[in-house]
């Protein structure tokens, strides 16, 4: 997966996430940079894990970490969604 492919896949999600969350998702794609050759579900899971690691590394953090936690959850959900989509395609 490349950065551009991941962003295009995120653009195709319906319903689209709220603007602030989408901006954080995009920033995470730019900041975290999982291995480019990873399949989409693994790539998305790695993004979620990277954000979650950032949140858990700040045990005294507060509400300022909420958006990162929400984005980590979104990436985990998207990883399962992408895996389900790949499974559907493999049955055709």
Q: Are 76 and 48 in contact (CB under 8 A)?
A: yes
- Mind listing the pLDDT tens digit for each residue in 49-70? 999 999 999 989 899 999 999 9
Distances (CA, A) of 60 to 7, 8, 55, 64, 92: 32, 35, 10, 11, 49
Confidence of residue 89 (pLDDT cuts 50, 70, 90): low
pTM for this entry:
0.89
The phi-psi region of residue 33 (left if phi > 0; otherwise alpha if psi is between -120 and 50; otherwise beta) is left
pLDDT digits 0-9 by tens, 11-64: 999 999 999 999 999 999 999 988 778 899 999 999 999 999 999 999 898 999
């Amino acid at each position: 997966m490349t950065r551009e492919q991941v962003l295009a896949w995120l653009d195709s999600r319906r319903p689209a996430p709220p603007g602030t969350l989408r901006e954080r998702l995009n920033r995470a794609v730019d900041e975290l940079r999982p291995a480019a050759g990873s399949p989409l579900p693994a790539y998305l899971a790695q993004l979620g894990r990277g954000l979650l690691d950032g949140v858990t590394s700040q045990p005294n953090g507060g509400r300022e970490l909420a958006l990162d936690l929400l984005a980590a959850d979104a990436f985990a959900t998207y990883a399962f969604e992408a895996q389900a989509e790949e499974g559907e395609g493999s049955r055709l």
